[in-house]
Amino acid sequence: MPAHANNAPEIVVTAVESNTPVGLTMEQSAAAIRAGIAGFREWTGYMPIAREFDVGDEPIKVASHGLVTSLDWDRLFDLVFDPLTKLVEDSGLGRKELASGGLYFALPANDKVIAKCNLRRHFLDQVNERLALPKTKEFLGVQTGSTGVYVLIERAMEKMRAGEMDFCLIAAVDSYLLEGRLPIYDEQWRLKTDRNPAGYIPGEAGVVLLLETEVFARQRNAPVLLRIDGVGSGKEPNPVTGAKTSTGHGLSQAITSLAEITGYDQPWQWVMSDLNGERYKAYEWGVALPRLNALIHDKHEFSYIAECIGDTGAAVAAIQVGCASEAFKRGYAPAEVALLFAGNDAGNRCALSVSRK
295 close to 256: Cβ distance less than 8 angstroms: yes
2-6, 67-71, 209-213, 216-220, range with the lowest pLDDT = 2-6
Alpha carbons 42 and 49: distance in angstroms, whole number: 15
CATH of the domain at 167: 3.40.47.10
Query: Would you say residue 4 has pLDDT above 60?
Result: no
Hey, what amino acid is at 343? G
Give the Cα separation of 61 and 87 in Å (integer): 31
The 10s digit of each residue's pLDDT in 50-100 is 876 565 567 899 999 999 999 988 999 999 999 999 999 999 998 889 999
CA–CA distance, 290 with 101 (Å, rounded to integer): 41
Q: Which of 199, 219, 239 is the last residue of a domain?
A: 219
Do 119 and 143 sit in the same domain of this protein?
Answer: yes
**107 and 211 co-located in one domain:** yes
Domain count, the chain: 2
Q: In this structure, are 102 and 212 located in the same domain?
A: yes
Residue where one domain finishes, among candidates 219, 254, 281: 219
Q: What is the per-residue pLDDT across 247-276, written as a single tens digit (0 to 9) for each?
A: 999 999 999 999 999 998 899 999 999 999
Assess if residue 108 is contained within a domain: yes
**Whole domain around residue 199: which residue ranges?**
5-219
Calculate the CA dihedral of residues 75, 81, 83, 88 and round it to 10 degrees.
Answer: 160
Q: Say whether both 197 and 252 belong to one domain.
A: no
Please say if the pLDDT value at position 113 is more than 80. Answer: yes
Q: Are residues 105 and 44 in the same domain?
A: yes
pTM metric for this prediction: 0.96
pLDDT band at 22 (very low <50, low <70, confident <90, very high): very high
Boundary residue ending a domain (156, 184, 219): 219
The answer as to whether 141 is a domain residue is yes
The pair phi, psi for residue 67, each rounded to 5°, is: -85, -20
Share of the chain above pLDDT 70, in %: 97
- In a domain? residue 224: no
Q: Are residues 43 and 188 in the same domain?
A: yes
Q: What is the pLDDT of residue 6?
A: 58
